[in-house]
Amino acid sequence: MINTYQTSLAPPPVPPRSRSQPVLIPASLPSQGHNKVLVRFLVGVVALHLLLSLAGFFYLYYHEHMEKHFSAEDRDGLPSSQKQEMDKQDTFYKALARMAVKRAEGKKTPGCLQWDTMHSVLRGINYYEQIWLTIPETGFYYVYSRVTFSKGDSTIPLASKVKLRKNEADESEDVMKAYCYLESTKNPHMCTAAQGDLILLEKGNQLSLWVQDLSLVDYEEGATSFGIYKL
């Protein structure tokens, strides 16, 4: 006879199936020596950039400011080739104007000549109302004019005048005058009134060229002109 034993114990747990687990390998941290090399490299780049910026600043400062303060005594001690080069640079930036004039047919009255801006040369100088030139900065200017008269009374001198006013609202005054007269024995009857002078002008001053009879002016190219040049 077989005896049957009963127990209250639970059956042993079934082991889980084996699964492959990823293996994490920690990355190696950079060494302290590597960090020092990187920091030194970055510091060197920043220092080089700063040095180049300072060099560019001093270069521009020298060429734009220092050369402007050279006096005549300073230039006397320089080699002739360097003085010529500096004079060329100064000449290039000087304000100047060489004005041609427009034809004024039939106007038998005194008045200012009008500028022909299409055939004129302007650098750093502006014109106003077609008859004035505005001075850009205070300084000494060489002012010249040439007016050729081609007809008229040979017994009366013909006049041309350079007029100056301080600003647009001011009255004008004569600062230069020139005269010529027509000789009846010459044919064609022509004469030229030419003048030139050195004048101290202030910023904002305006110049114009006046003639006593607009109908007597020879308007051919090169016969009549007006100009200023900053020294």
Handedness of CA 62, 66, 72, 76 (dihedral sign): negative
- Ordered by start, the domain boundaries in the chain are 94-230
pLDDT < 70: residue spans in the chain: 1-34, 61-92, 152-155, 183-188
Q: Where are the beta strands (DSSP E) in 88-138?
A: 96-101, 111-112, 115-123, 126-128, 132-134
Q: Which pLDDT score, from 0 to 100, does residue 203 have? A: 94
How do residues 94-144 score in pLDDT, each as one tens digit?
Answer: 899 999 999 887 778 899 999 999 999 999 999 999 999 999 999 999 999
Q: Which pLDDT score, from 0 to 100, does residue 71 have? A: 47
In this structure, whether the domain defined by 94-230 belongs to CATH 3.40.50.300 is answered with no
In this prediction the pTM is 0.60
Q: Which pLDDT score, from 0 to 100, does residue 115 have? A: 94
Q: Which ranges of the chain does DSSP label H, i.e. alpha helix?
A: 32-61, 72-76, 80-92
3-state helix, strand, coil split of the chain in percent (to 5) is: 25, 30, 40
Q: Which pLDDT score, from 0 to 100, does residue 112 have? A: 94
How many other CB atoms are found less than 10 A from the CB of residue 160? Answer: 26
